[in-house]
A and B are shown apart, each in its own frame.
Chain A
Amino acid sequence: MTLAFKTTIPVLFGYLAIGIAFGLLLKNAGYSWVVALVMSVFIYAGAAQYLAVNFFANNASFTEVATITFLVNFRHMLYGISLFNKFNLTGWLKPYMIFSLTDETYALLTSVKDPVEVNKSKFYFYIALFNHSYWILGSLIGGIAGNLITINTQGLDFALTALFLVLLIEQFKSYKTRIPFLIGACCAVASIIIIGRANMLILSVISSIFIMLALEKRIVKNESN
């Protein structure tokens, strides 16, 4: 347990900070800390939860909520593949291990050295559980702090933009091809022009998938050059 805790310390700071900002944003949109708590316990996906604040505020349709959640979390569909062996060791804890597979937990579990002296299954489980509790704790602090003290949170929503920008820079570094970025940008701008700002998200994502599939060979070739 101590070893698992030490492993998760970098995530502790990250999740607390992003969780607090999430709790504050949700509170600012008019929802109590209970909603933040329920979301962080049961959804446990940072980017999707941030987006949900926008969805609640703009009265988005359930279809939009479902589609965007799916697409934002699509990357998770590939995470499990590299963890088949480790998760098979965890027995009855396996469903929780799968539920709690966030970006950060995935990164820790795939990169950490297996402990020699301790039970591996417990070690993996505590890593997952600690990370989850930091996230819950952060959103609770944010949601409750929003009640106790009046902070002018105007502009705090830029944290979401900044988060996506950071992810964009990281991906820009890790891909050689620029085609997927271009497709995304073109589809987003075109969707804003065609159906307006409020509903641009679904149209841009769906149209970009079709264009990507049409350009499959080019993208793969471009990436390998």
Chain B
Amino acid sequence: MSLTNVFISIAIMAAITFLTRVFPFLFFRKGQIPDIILFVGKYIPPTVITILVIYCLKDISFGILPYGCNELIAVMLVVFLHLRLGNPLVSIFGATFVYMFLIQSDVIRRLIS
């Protein structure tokens, strides 16, 4: 993306992010929140996060070596660390560190082939 478009995107993102934060102060009073907003507001986060996880993993090539093994190991490590220790930073950076090692050393592909 060109630098001009990057800055236009930043302006759009800043405006929309602020809009979501200011929204209740502009339109709601306590106890007067439309049901549909409450429903979507409650159930959209798990839906969107599920989609974003798949979006992040969409470029894995399962067809070629190492058949997505690096990503699979890293994903399982996040889940394992998070269920075991429950510390978000450890789960995120622990798994990222291992993933960076796996991908930079290319060790799995060498082991398989």
Residues on A facing B (Cβ under 8 Å): 13-14, 17-18, 21, 31, 35, 38-39, 42-45, 47-49, 51-52, 55-57, 59-60, 62, 65-66, 69-81, 84, 87, 98-99, 101, 152-156, 158-169, 171-172, 175, 180-181, 183-185, 187-189, 192, 197, 200-201, 204-205, 208-209, 212-213, 216, 219-220
Contact = CB atoms under 8 A, between A and B. Distances in A.
Nearest to A71: B48
Contacts of A212: 40, 43-44, 47
Contacts of A188: 50-51, 54-55
15 contacts: A17-B93, A39-B10, A45-B17, A72-B52, A74-B44, A75-B41, A76-B23, A78-B37, A78-B41, A80-B23, A87-B25, A155-B96, A161-B78, A184-B50, A185-B54
B49 A65 contact: no
Given A80-B21, A162-B78, A205 B51 contact: yes
B55 A72 contact: no
A55 B100 CA distance: 22
A51 B100 CA distance: 19
Nearest to A10: B89
Contacts of B82: 165-166, 169
Nearest to A55: B9
Given A38-B10, A77-B23, A188-B50, A154 B40 contact: no
Contacts, number: 244
A208 B99 contact: no
B16 to A, nearest CB: 5
Contact of B20 (A44, A77, A183): A77
A111 B4 CA distance: 41
B79 interface: yes
Given A48-B17, A188-B50, A161 B57 contact: yes
A160 B93 CA distance: 10
